[in-house]
Amino acid sequence: MAEQIVQIINNLVGQIQNPEIQKQAEESLNLFSSQNPNEFVQYLIQILKNSQNEQHRVFVASHLRKITSKFAEKSFVNIWDQLNVESQQLIQTQLFECLKTEPVQNIRYLISDCIGELAGSLLEDPQNNKWPELVPLLWQLFMQSNTNLIESGFKILVNLLTFASDTFEKSQNELKNLFQNGIQNENVKISVACIQALGAYLSVLEPKQAKGFQYLIPQMLNTLYKVLKTDQDEGQLILEVFTDIVETEPKFFKENFEQLFSTVWKINMEEKEIETDIKHMGTETLISLVQRLPQIVRKNQEYLLKLIELIFSHMIEIDQEVTDEWKQPPEGFNEDIEEDADFETTRFGMNAIDRIIDSVGDKETLPILSQTVEKLLQHADWRYNYAAIMALSQVGEYIDDVATVQPIMDVVLKFLSSPNPVIRYGVFHAIGQISDDMKPEFQTVYKDSIMKVILQHLDDPVPRVASHAAAALTNFVEGFTEQDVQPYLQVTLEKLFALVNSGCSIVKENCMTAIASTAEAAKEHFHAYFDISMPILFKVFDAYKGKEYKQLRGQTIECITLIAHSVSKEKFLPYLDQITNIIINIQESNLDNQDPQKTYVLSGWQRLCLKYNVELTTYLPKILPGVFKIVSQIIKKDACDSDEAEVALAMLEVFIDQFGSNYVNYVEETTKLISPLCSYKYSESIRDQASKCLPGLIKCAQQQPETQKNMVRYFLGLLWDAASSEFDSEIIISQITAMKECIESCGKFMTQQEIQSLSDKVIKLLLDSDKRKAENEKWKNEEDVEDEEKNILEEDLKIEENLQVSIAELIGVLFKTHKEQTLNLAHILYTQVLPKVMDSKVSDNMHKFGLFLIDDMVEFLGFEHMGDKWGEFAQALSIFAVDKSSQVRQAAVYGIGIFAQVTPTAQFSVYAQGLVKTLLASIAYPQGSEKEKTYGHAKDNAISSLGKIIRYQSESLSLNEILGLWLNNLPLKFDKQEGVFQHRLLAELTINRPDLITQNEGFIQKTIVTFGQVLGTKFVDQEGTALIHQAINRLTQVDFVKNNWNSIVANLTDGQKVKLQQGAQAQ
C-alpha cells in the first residue's frame, strides 16, 4: 500500500500533465482514505518523515491538513473522527517531530499550518479539550534555541489563535511576554511571524481586550521600519497584518495614530529604495484607518493636509516621457486591462482621494484639496498638473451646486491647449467623470462650451486623446435632453462615423459607445440618421474580424442593441434578424474565458428581449444553448468575475420573465446553472441575483402544476440552506422575498409536516435576527463607540428590521395559501412575537412588522379562525392608525379596511363608530418631515378604508354621515391600487344607489369633479372607466346637473372636461 500511495502522489505532483491520470490518482487517494483511514495516515506520516522527495513531503503536509482540519477546504472529506486513538496520537506527536527535523522552510510552514488548524479543530470548545498536550508542546518550541522552531511556534499560534483563542484566556500575561520578546527578536522571520500571530489574535478579541496589547504598537512600528530597510518581502508581510488589524479592529491604532502616520510618511517620503507597491500598502493602511475613524483627521487638519500630500506623492511618481505607444496603443489595446504601472499609480491616488472625501466629509476635505490642487496646477512639471486634474475629476460626486464646480472647470479647460497629450487626456477624464457625477445640472450649464471642445478634440492628432474625448462625449450626452442634443446631432454623428471608419481600435471603440449614447439621448430625432447609421455599424462585423477587434465587435453589439431599444419597434424590426444571427454566430465561436464579447452578448440579448421578446421566441432554440455555455463558462471558476456573472444572471432573469411559458423547456437547465450560485461563497451580489431568478422559473411552469410544486419544494430547500449560512442580512432579505414569490405563484401545495418544518425555520430566522439586533444594541451602547460606528450599527439595525418585515410578508403568504395549516404558527406569533413588536418602546419598523402580521391574520385567517383575538386586533390597529410614522399609519389603516371587509356584519357594529373616528383622525394627521409620497400613501389608505366600511359594512352605521366624509377626501392621489378600487366604488354607488349621491347637490358636484380628475389616469382601470362613463351618463340626467354643468366643472382643466363629455356620451 505504501508504494501505491507514493505512486499516486507522484502522479499528482510529478511531471505528468495528463488530466485523466491525475483524476484517477485523486480518486484512488480518496478511496484509500475512506476505506483504510488508519493505515492511510500512517503511511502519510512515514512519507513526511522519511521521503527524500520534497514535492512528496509538500503534498503530504498539505493533504494531512485538508483531511484532519475542520477549517479546511470543503471539497475534502475530514477523516479525523474515523481514526482510532492510536492513529490520532501518532499524527499529533509525529507532526511535532517532523517539524524539528524538516530542513525546508516552506514545508515547515505547511506542517505548522497543519498543527495549528488541527489544534484549532480539537480545542475549539474550551470545555472539551481533545489535545491537552498541545499547549505544553507549543510552549516548548518557544524555549528552543533553534530559530526555525521558534518561528514555527508562532506560525502554529496564528491558526490556533484564529480558531481557538479561548484556549489562552487565562494565559494573557504569558502571551504578552511572548509577543513582546518575539517582536523584538533579532531574527527577522521570528519577529514577522510573531506580529502575524498577534494580528490573528487581535482579529478575534473584543475591543476592550485588544486595548491591552496597544503598548506593543511602538515596537511593531519600529520593527516594520527596520525590516523594510533590509527585507522588503518580509516587511510587506507585516504591512499586511497592519491592514488586517485596521479592517477588524481599527481603534487598536487610535492612540498611536501619530506614530503610525509618521512611520508610513517616512517609508514613502524618505526611503527611495522601497518598492512602489509597498509604499501604496502603507498609505492604504492609513486611508483605511481614516475611513473607519475619520474623526482622527477631522480633529487635526494637519493630518488631513499631509495625507493628501502623501497621496499626491504617489500620483506624480510616473514617467516623464510620453511614449509613442502611449499616444497610439497597438490594435486591440484595452485600457482597463493592459494599462501600465503609471496609470495604476494615478488610479490609486484618485481612489484614495475619493475615499477620503467620502469618509471625512466634503466640507472638511474639499478646501484643503483645493489649496493643494491650486499649487500643483501652477507647477512647471506636467506630472503635477496631471495629478491635480485627475484628482479634481473625483470631486463632482460631492458637490451639489454646479456653480461651485465652475471655477474648477474654467481652470481645467485651459489645459486643453497644453502640448502634452497626457494633460489633454486628463482634462477629458475630468469632463467625463464630472459629467457623470453631476448630470444633468452640469450639462445644463456647460452644454455649449463643453460640447464644442469635445467635438474639436475628436480630431486630436493623438489617438489616445481623441479616444478619451469620445469617452467624455458618451458621459456628457447621457445628461442631455433630446432638445439639448438636437443642434449637435448631425455634426456629432458625422465625426463619430468618420472615426469608426478611420481611427485605430481604441478610437473606434469609444466612438461606438458615443454613437449609442447620442442615439439614446436623441430619441425620435435619431430616426433621421437611422438608415444611414445601420449599414455603417453592421459593416464592422465584416471589416474587423481579427482577435484584436473583439472589444470593438462587442461594443458594436452594445451600440446596435441600445439603438434597437431606443428607436421605435417598427423602425428597427427590419434589422432584428441580422443582429440576432450575428450575436448567435459570435456566441457559438468558442469564446474563451477572457473574451470581452461575452458580456456584450449577454447584455445585448437582455436589451433585445425587453422590447422584442415576441419576435425572438422562434430564435430561442438557437439563442439559449450558446447563452447557457457562456454563463456556465463565467461561473464555473471558483472565484469568477462577479460583475460578468451578475450581467449573465441579470440576462437570464430577463429571459425568464419576458418569455414566460415559452421558456418552460429551458427551466431544468437554467435551474442546474443557477442553483449552486444561491450559496456561492465568493460574492454577495451573485447570491443575491441567483435568488431573484428562481420565482420567474416557477411562473414558467404554471401549465405543469405537479412540476411546479416539486420545483417550489426544491427551491425552498435551496433558499433555506443558503439563508441559514448567510452572513449578510440584505441577501437574506432577497432569499426570503424569493421564497415568498415562489409560494405565492404556486398556491397551496405543502403538507402539514412541511408547513410545520417551514414554520420552525421562520421562527428560528426571527430569533437569529433578534440576536443580531441585541448584539448591535449592546455595541451601540458601549462607552467608546465612535459616531461613525454608531451610524453603521444603526444602519445594521435597520437592515435587520427590514429583514423581519420581509419575514412577516413571507408569513402572510403562508397564511394566504395554507390557511388552516398555519394556525399553530399564528398562535406562536400571537403569543410570543406580537407582544414584543407592538410594544410602544420599539422602532417604527418593528411596529410595521407587527401590523403586517395582524393585517395578514385578519385578511387570510379571518374571523373564523382568529375571532377570539378580534377585539385586540381592532385595538392595535386603532392605536397605530394615528402613529407619528406615516409608514406605520399606512399599515394600520390598511388593516382597518381589511378588518371591515372580512368581519361579519353582526360583529362589526361593535367596532364601527370607533374605527370611523380613528380613520378620520388618521386622515387629518398633519404631515411632518416625511416625504409627501410617504405621507400621501398613508392618507390614501385611510380614505380607502373609510370607503371599504361603506362598501362592506353599510348596515353598521349611518351612511349619509360617513359618505360625505369619504367623498370630500376623494380622489386618491398616491396609492394606485387603492385608488382604482375607490374610484370604481364611487361609480358603483352612483349606479346602484343613486339616492345616496343625488340627495345632496354637494355630493353630486364632488362626484362629477372626482370622475373628471381621475379619468385617463393610472388611478382608474378599464373596468372602472366603463363604470364611470355609466355613472356620468346617469348623473347628466339629473336636473341639477343639466342646469349647472358649467359651474360644476368650472375648476377642471379643458382636458378633464373633454373626458367627462366623452364619458357622458359613451354607451
What is the amino acid identity at position 291?
A: Q
DSSP secondary structure code for residue 254 in this structure = G
- b or e along 1031-1051 (b: 16 or more beta carbons within 10 Å of the residue's beta carbon)? bbbbbbebeebeeebeebbee
Measured CA to CA, the distance from residue 827 to residue 556 in angstroms comes to 60
Could you tell me the end-to-end alpha-carbon distance of the chain, in angstroms, rounded to an integer? 94
Measured CA to CA, the distance from residue 243 to residue 216 in angstroms comes to 16
The span from the CA of 551 to the CA of 549, in Å, is: 5
Cis peptide bond upstream of 971, omega within 30: yes
3-state secondary structure 963-1002: HHHHHCCCCCCCCHHHHHHHHHHHHHHHHHCHHHHHCCHH
* Amino acid present at 598: K
Name the nearest CA neighbour of 629 among 663, 682, 660, 670. 670
In angstroms, the CA 934 to CA 952 distance is 27
Looking at residue 25, its pLDDT comes to 86
At 641 the pLDDT is 61
CA distance 796 to 804: 12
Q: What is the pLDDT of residue 634?
A: 74
* Average pLDDT of span 624-650: 77
| 1012 pLDDT higher than 80 | yes
Find the range with the poorest average confidence among 323-327, 530-534, 678-682, 853-857. Answer: 678-682
pLDDT at position 680 is: 86
372: which residues sit within 8 A by CB, 6+ positions away? 305, 308, 309, 312, 388
Residues 288 and 359: their CA atoms lie apart, in Å, by 10
| Per-residue pLDDT tens over the stretch 186-216 | 999 999 999 999 999 999 998 889 999 999 9
In this predicted structure, what is the pLDDT of residue 505?
94
**Which grid coordinates belong to 441?**
445640472
From residue 716, how far is each of 240, 675, 728, 1013, 1037 by CA, in Å? 41, 11, 19, 45, 58
Q: Which three cell numbers stand for residue 793?
A: 450599527
Is the pLDDT score of 643 beyond 80?
Answer: no
938 with 895: CB under 8 angstroms?
no
Look at the alpha carbons of 369, 370, 371, 373 in this order and tell me if their dihedral is positive or negative.
positive
Place of cell 375648476: 1051
Give the C-alpha separation, 857 to 903, whole Å.
Answer: 12
User: What is 661-676 written as a DSSP string?
Assistant: GGGGGGHHHHHHHHGG
- Rounded Cα distance between 819 and 822, Å, is 6
How far apart are the C-alpha atoms of 847 and 853, rounded to whole Å? Answer: 10
Rounded Cα distance, 902 and 925, in Å: 26
pLDDT at 98 over 80: yes
H/E stretch holding 390: helix 382-392
| 987 burial level (CB within 10 Å; 0-12, 13-18, 19+) | buried
Cell of 993: 344607489
Q: Is residue 2 pLDDT above 80, yes or no? A: no
Residue 135 reports pLDDT greater than 90: yes
Burial class (CB in 10 A: 0-12, 13-18, 19+), 181: middle
Encode pLDDT of 337-365 as tens digits: 766 666 788 889 999 999 999 999 999 99
Amino acid, single-letter form, for residue 795: E
pLDDT at 339: 63
Using pLDDT thresholds of 50, 70 and 90, give the confidence band for residue 956. confident
Rounded Cα–Cα distance for residues 906 and 901 (Å):
13
What's the CA gap between 74 and 681, in Å, rounded? Answer: 11
Q: Which of 79-83, 184-188, 770-774, 940-944 has the lowest mean pLDDT?
A: 770-774
Question: Does residue 77 contact residue 93 with C-beta atoms inside 8 Å?
Answer: no
Is pLDDT of 683 > 70?
yes
Residue type, 186: E
Three cell numbers written together for 294: 475619520
Q: What pLDDT does 637 receive?
A: 56
| Grid cell at residue 1065 | 356620451
Do 824 and 756 meet the contact criterion of CB atoms below 8 Å apart? yes
796 vs 327, residue with greater confidence: 327
Looking at per-residue confidence, does 957 or 484 come out higher?
484
> What confidence tens digit (pLDDT) does each residue in 416-470 have?
999 999 999 999 999 999 999 999 999 999 989 999 999 999 999 999 999 999 9
CA angle 73–76–77, rounded 5-degree value: 130
- SS3 at position 583: helix
- Can you tell me the distance from the alpha carbon of 89 to that of 871, in angstroms, rounded to the nearest whole number? 67
* pTM score of the predicted model: 0.79
Q: Rounded to whole angstroms, how far apart are CA atoms 431 and 644?
A: 27
Max CA pair span of the chain: 113
Average pLDDT over residues 568-594: 92
Instruction: List phi, psi (to 5°) of 682.
Output: -85, -15
Buried b (16+ CB within 10 A) or exposed e, 84-96: eeebbebbbebbb
Per-residue pLDDT, averaged over 1035-1046, amounts to: 92
Which residue type sits at 356? I
Distances (CA, A) of 796 to 443, 708, 728, 731, 790: 37, 36, 10, 13, 10
Record the cell numbers describing residue 678, joined without a space.
444561491
Closest-CA residue to 748 (of 814, 699, 823):
814
- Note whether 773 and 836 are within 8 A (CB): no
The C-alpha atoms of residue 160 and residue 571 are separated, in whole angstroms, by: 68
SS3 assignment, position 824: helix
Cis peptide leading into residue 440 (ω within 30°): yes
173, 528, 552, 603, 860 from 545: Cα distances, Å = 70, 29, 10, 21, 61
C-alpha cell at 322: 510620453
* Ramachandran class of 187: left when φ > 0, alpha when ψ lies in -120 to 50, beta otherwise: beta
* Type of residue numbered 494: E
Average pLDDT, the chain: 92
Joined grid coordinates for residue 3: 508504494
264, exposed or middle or buried, with CB in 10 Å at 0-12, 13-18, 19+? Answer: buried
Cell of 515: 454613437
Residue 228: pLDDT above 60?
yes
Cell numbers standing for residue 574: 427590419
Higher pLDDT, residue 154 or 170: 154
Contacts of 610 (CB under 8 A, 6+ apart): 565, 654, 658
- Those residues whose C-beta lies under 8 Å from the C-beta of residue 753, and which sit 6 or more positions away, are none
